[in-house]
């Protein structure tokens, strides 16, 4: 067994020092009827590295990969080019195989990285502070709703109809058990968002308004009016960003008055990974920091006065406060936060802005090209790198027909909102820097044929 260093003679020697005859003597506290005498049913014995790798290669070949096909999917997970150095850095054993930095004297690498990450996220979102990451965007969104409840001591959250339906589902799951009430609605295939509904719904009972920016259909709108109305009634504005690259082109939610900004950081550094692991981003105004969930890294000095970093404000957390903690979260998404931070450091201000401009310009071109097809309409007035098309027929079978031609042609609203007829002709198309003009033409021609 290549992963087990003890030899049979080591084991014998150790049993002797312990003072027992056999390994079974160390399991005496396990009642006999609970001991498994034979092997696990059906599981073969150990396998060579080569055999295991072969098994996975076989399975991997059964999936259609984003890089090798025309690819236009988004809806909360985006395909961007990740520089080679990102994966190199996150595979360094000192990052990959470290634990949560509980012993700061020998974890300054992770801690300094987290301090840099927190600062990058706060600046990107236009907020004062950010935490050291959450599991993903959907759980960060739920935690933000919970945090708003603690701050305002109110239980009504108003959710925009443009919030990712999975995020809405997660919030609904949790709300069943916490006594929060959620005011939700389905989106319409229209250029206008439901901001009028949100403004009408805000009242003295409202803890928060939750708005995705850009939203699930790709629409972008100014959040200032919603922030103002929320603040007038003592409620908070939570903005949700599922595509942080957008913030290289459009205003930060914090700069439009959002009190808490959460997001999915997957699009920088992390990759698609069939949905996980991703990295939840969480930022807010400084005055709310003690109600924040999750780990926080802070600057301090050591006994010799040298700058150093530690995990701090842990009296909010479960390992100190137990049932009174702000969240039950423990393990977060440290290595994905590193990938995000490295990618953003490589980009810098200049690179992020360039990347955002490139994404937007390509998306505009693709929207123009696809709407040349008879019967295809663009729903959006505004968008960043993702927009929604209204097709002349149900979109879900069209996406399958495209896949039959080895084109990954967007996400149908039928997949995201099953059973909602009014949305079934909607197709969400994302366009990033990885899309080539050949991809676009292949996609457009196939779409035209399928719709004909």
Q: 376-435: which residues touch another protein (CB under 8 A)?
A: 380-384, 399-400, 403, 408, 411, 415-416, 418-419, 433
Element (H, E) at 141: helix 137-152
Q: Which of 194, 243, 259, 264 binds another protein (CB under 8 A)?
A: 264
Between helices 108-125 and 334-370, what is the axis angle to 10°?
Answer: 30
In 3D space, the residue among 251, 195, 162, 219 whose CA is nearest the CA of residue 383 turns out to be 219
In the complex, minimum distance from the CB of residue 105 to another protein, in angstroms, rounded to a whole number: 4
Name which of 110 and 152 has its Cβ closer to another protein.
110
- Are 209 and 156 contacting, i.e. CB atoms less than 8 angstroms apart? no
Binding mask 196-235 for another protein (x = CB under 8 A): -----------------------xxxx-------------
Local structure of residue 40 (DSSP, 8 states): P
Q: Which stretch binds another protein (CB under 8 A): 110-118, 148-156, 227-235, 442-450?
A: 110-118
Residue with smaller CB distance to another protein, 233 or 415: 415
Do 69 and 406 touch, CB atoms closer than 8 A?
yes
Smallest distance, Å, CB 125 to another protein? 10
Instruction: Using the rule CB under 8 A, give the single segment among 108-116, 151-159, 226-234, 369-377 that binds another protein.
Output: 108-116
How far apart are the C-alpha atoms of 332 and 162, rounded to whole Å? Answer: 27
Pick one of 207, 332, 388, 424: the residue that binds another protein (CB under 8 A).
332
- Report the C-alpha dihedral over residues 212, 214, 219, 225, rounded to 10 degrees: 60
| Best CA proximity match to 208, nearest among 156, 173, 153, 258 | 156
- Shortest Cβ 392–another protein spacing (Å): 20
Structure tokens belonging to residue 77: 């997970």
How is residue 50 annotated by DSSP? H
C-alpha distances in angstroms, 196 versus 68, 185, 226, 364, 406?
Answer: 43, 12, 9, 27, 41
Q: Which is nearer to another protein, 206 or 215 (CB)?
A: 215
User: Looking at residue 39, what DSSP letter applies?
Assistant: P
70, 124, 226, 413: residue in contact with another protein (rule CB under 8 A) = 124
Which tokens hold the place of 170?
A: 């997660």
Judged by beta carbon, residue 203 or residue 382, the one nearer another protein is: 382
Query: Residues 6 or more apart from 278 whose CB is under 8 A from it?
Result: 77, 135, 136, 137, 264, 265, 266, 270, 333, 336
String marking each residue 18-57 x if it binds another protein according to CB under 8 A: xxx--x-xxxxxxx-xxxx--xxxxxxxxx-x-xxx-xxx
Among residues 131, 132, 134, 142, which one has the least CA distance to residue 164? 142
What is the footprint of another protein within residues 139-178 (CB under 8 A)? 139, 164, 166-167, 169-170, 172-173, 176-178
In the bound complex, what is the minimum distance in angstroms from residue 262's beta carbon to another protein? 12
> In the chain, what's the furthest Cα-to-Cα distance?
83
CA distance 320 to 367: 52
Q: Out of 185, 199, 225, 364, name the contact with another protein by CB under 8 A.
A: 364
**Closest distance of CB 197 from another protein, Å:** 19
Q: Which residues, 72 to 101, sit near another protein by CB under 8 A?
A: 73, 75-77, 79, 83, 85, 87-101
Measured CA to CA, the distance from residue 254 to residue 265 in angstroms comes to 17
Determine which residue in the list 352, 373, 376, 447 makes contact with another protein, applying CB under 8 A: 352
Q: Is 327 in the site for another protein (CB under 8 A)?
A: yes
How many chain residues interact with another protein (CB under 8 A)?
212
What's the min distance (Å) between Cβ of 385 and another protein? 11
Contact positions with another protein (CB under 8 A) in 284-323? 289, 295-304, 306, 308-310, 312-315, 317-323
């Amino acid at each position: 067994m290549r992963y087990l260093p003890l030899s049979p003679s080591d084991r014998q020697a150790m049993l002797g020092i312990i003072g027992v005859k056999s390994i079974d003597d160390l399991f005496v506290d396990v009642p006999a009827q609970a001991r498994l005498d034979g092997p696990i049913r059906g599981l073969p014995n150990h396998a060579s590295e080569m055999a295991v790798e072969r098994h996975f290669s076989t399975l991997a070949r059964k999936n259609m990969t984003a890089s090798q096909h025309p690819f236009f999917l988004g809806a909360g997970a985006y395909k961007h080019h990740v520089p080679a150095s990102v994966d190199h850095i996150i595979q360094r054993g000192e990052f990959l195989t470290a634990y949560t930095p509980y012993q700061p004297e020998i974890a300054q690498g992770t801690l300094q990285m987290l301090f840099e990450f927190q600062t990058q996220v706060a600046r990107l979102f236009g907020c004062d502070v950010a935490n050291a990451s959450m599991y993903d965007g959907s759980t960060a969104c739920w935690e933000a709703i919970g945090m708003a409840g603690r701050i305002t001591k109110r239980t009504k959250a108003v959710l925009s109809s443009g919030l990712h339906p999975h995020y809405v589902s997660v919030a609904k799951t949790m709300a069943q058990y916490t006594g929060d009430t959620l005011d939700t609605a389905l989106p319409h295939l229209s250029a206008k968002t439901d901001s009028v509904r949100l403004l009408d719904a805000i009242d003295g009972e409202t803890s928060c308004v939750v708005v995705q920016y850009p939203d699930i259909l790709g629409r972008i709108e100014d959040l200032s009016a919603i922030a103002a109305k929320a603040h007038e009634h003592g409620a908070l504005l939570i903005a949700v960003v599922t595509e942080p690259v957008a913030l290289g082109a459009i205003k930060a939610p914090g700069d439009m008055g959002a009190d808490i900004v959460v997001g999915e950081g997957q699009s920088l550094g992390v990759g698609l990974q069939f949905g996980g692991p991703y990295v939840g981003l969480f930022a807010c105004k400084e005055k709310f920091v003690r109600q924040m969930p999750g780990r926080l890294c802070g600057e301090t000095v050591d006994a010799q006065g040298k700058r150093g970093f530690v995990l701090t404000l842990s009296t909010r957390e479960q390992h100190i406060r137990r049932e009174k903690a702000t969240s039950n979260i423990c393990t977060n998404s440290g290595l994905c936060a590193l990938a995000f931070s490295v990618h953003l450091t490589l980009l810098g201000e200049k690179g992020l802005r360039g990347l955002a401009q490139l994404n937007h310009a390509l998306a505009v071109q693709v929207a123009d090209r696809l709407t040349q097809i008879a019967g295809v309409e663009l729903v959006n007035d505004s968008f960043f790198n993702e927009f929604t098309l209204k097709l002349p027929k149900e979109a879900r079978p069209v996406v399958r027909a495209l896949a039959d031609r080895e084109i990954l042609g967007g996400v149908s609203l039928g997949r995201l909102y099953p059973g909602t007829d009014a949305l079934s002709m909607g197709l969400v198309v994302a366009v990033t820097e990885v899309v080539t003009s050949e991809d676009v033409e292949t996609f457009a021609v196939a779409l035209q044929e399928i719709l004909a």
